[in-house]
């Protein structure tokens, strides 16, 4: 596994800018309101790898009863890697690596013994995240050229290396990312654990008063429906679950409408404090405001 960089490896200015900075496509994609739809799509795609999903099911028992803290931690991790200083990002990665280092098991359907930090599992999670966030951003209407999309995938190699993937193994263009998924498809399956994860994402547990006395359930249902509809056709076929089956055109229109509605919300409601703190630290509050 690749070694983590240390504070002496960068200057004070590089630390302030973080690993990506305001001129990166990564900042544009990860600050966009489409991030939440892309994040859910990533979870659904990641669940189709039997071994990776076994790790989640085996070691995230609390996620089934209280998914919100886990979802918040995952989003905060990506936000910190993207918008934090380099020191903050490395600290976040070190915590995740420390947890992963202690966990492993044997996946029942394949018989494979694994550790959560096996490089191929880390690469799968990384690629699902990159593909999903980019897909949601482009179909949501963020102005990204084909060159921008390639640049985003290339920039994200840094995130893969930080978590422990070898640089040479991480796709560095949209074409390489697509080829990776083509290679992976024979290994994928909608196991019972994957179907449980699907149901949990689509219908997460909520307190009764939240479910019936607030708009949380229909709002989440709409968000989850968009995430499902943005999955590749082959992934939707693997789940073969009824409902939430929007056409591609309807899904694109839905994500665009969601993005435009979110852009009208107050700044604090659009993205996390970690995102805004990074923007204010480096670029000023006027940057990435749209």
Give the residue from 129, 132, 134, 145 showing the smallest Cα distance to 29: 134
Higher pLDDT, 288 or 212: 288
Residue 290: is its pLDDT beyond 90? Answer: no
- pLDDT per residue over 205-235, tens digit each? 555 544 544 445 556 667 888 999 999 999 9
- Is residue 20 within 8 A of residue 26, CB to CB? The reply is yes
Q: How many CB atoms lie within 10 A of CB 236?
A: 16
Q: Which residues pair with 105 in a beta bridge?
A: 114
Residue 90: is its pLDDT beyond 50? Answer: yes
Among positive and negative, which fits the CA dihedral 25, 31, 32, 38? positive
pLDDT above 90 coverage of the chain, percent: 63
Query: The whole model's pTM is what?
Result: 0.90
Residues constituting the chain: 290
- pLDDT per residue over 115-127, tens digit each? 999 999 999 999 9
**Helix, strand, or coil (residue 114):** strand
Q: How far apart are CA 39 and CA 272, in angstroms?
A: 14
Residue 65: is its pLDDT beyond 60? Answer: no
What ranges do the domains of the chain cover?
7-268
* Residue 113: φ, ψ to 5°: -85, 135
pLDDT above 70 coverage of the chain, percent: 84
Question: What is the model's pLDDT at position 286?
Answer: 45
Give the residue from 212, 200, 163 showing the smallest Cα distance to 68: 200
Residue 50: is its pLDDT beyond 90? Answer: yes
Residue 63: is its pLDDT beyond 80? Answer: no
Q: Please give the C-alpha separations between residue 36 and each of 75, 222, 249, in angstroms, as whole numbers.
A: 9, 12, 20
Q: How far is CA 226 from the centre of its chain?
A: 15
Question: What is the model's pLDDT at position 213?
Answer: 42
Q: How far apart are CA 60 and CA 54, in angstroms?
A: 10
- What is the residue-wise DSSP string for 157-218? HHHHHHHT--GGGS--SHHHHHHHHHHHGGG----HHHHHHHHHHHS----HHHHHHSSHHH
Mean pLDDT of the chain: 86
Q: For the residues 170-180, what does the mean pLDDT come to?
A: 98
Higher pLDDT, 87 or 74: 87
Question: What is the model's pLDDT at position 252?
Answer: 92
Q: How far apart are CA 40 and CA 203, in angstroms?
A: 12
Residue 142: is its pLDDT beyond 50? Answer: yes
- pLDDT per residue over 186-210, tens digit each? 999 999 999 988 888 877 655 554 4
């Amino acid at each position: 596994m690749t070694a983590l960089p240390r504070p002496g490896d960068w200057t004070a200015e590089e630390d302030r800018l973080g690993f990506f900075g305001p001129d990166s496509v990564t900042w544009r994609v990860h600050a966009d309101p489409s991030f939440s739809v892309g994040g859910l799509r990533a979870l659904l795609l990641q669940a189709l790898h039997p071994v990776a999903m076994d790790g989640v099911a085996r070691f995230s028992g609390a996620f089934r009863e209280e998914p919100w803290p886990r979802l918040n931690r995952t989003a905060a991790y990506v936000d910190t890697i993207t918008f934090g200083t380099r020191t903050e990002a490395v600290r976040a990665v070190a915590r995740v690596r420390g947890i992963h280092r202690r966990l492993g098991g044997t996946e029942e359907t394949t018989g494979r013994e694994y550790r959560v930090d096996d490089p191929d599992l880390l690469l799968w999670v990384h690629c699902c995240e990159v593909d999903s966030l980019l897909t949601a951003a482009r179909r949501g209407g963020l102005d990204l050229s084909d060159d921008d999309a390639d640049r985003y995938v290339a920039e994200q190699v840094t995130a893969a290396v930080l978590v422990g993937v070898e640089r040479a193994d991480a796709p560095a263009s949209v074409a390489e990312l697509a080829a990776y998924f083509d290679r992976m498809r024979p290994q994928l399956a909608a196991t019972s654990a994957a179907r449980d994860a699907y149901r949990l994402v689509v219908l997460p547990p909520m307190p009764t008063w939240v479910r019936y006395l607030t708009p949380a359930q229909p709002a989440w249902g709409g968000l989850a429906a968009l995430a499902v509809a943005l999955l590749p056709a082959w992934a939707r076929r693997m789940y073969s679950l009824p409902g939430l089956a929007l056409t591609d055109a309807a899904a694109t229109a839905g994500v665009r409408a969601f993005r435009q509605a979110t852009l009208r919300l107050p700044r604090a409601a659009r993205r996390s404090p970690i995102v805004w703190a990074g923007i204010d630290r480096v670029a000023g509050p006027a940057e990435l405001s749209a």
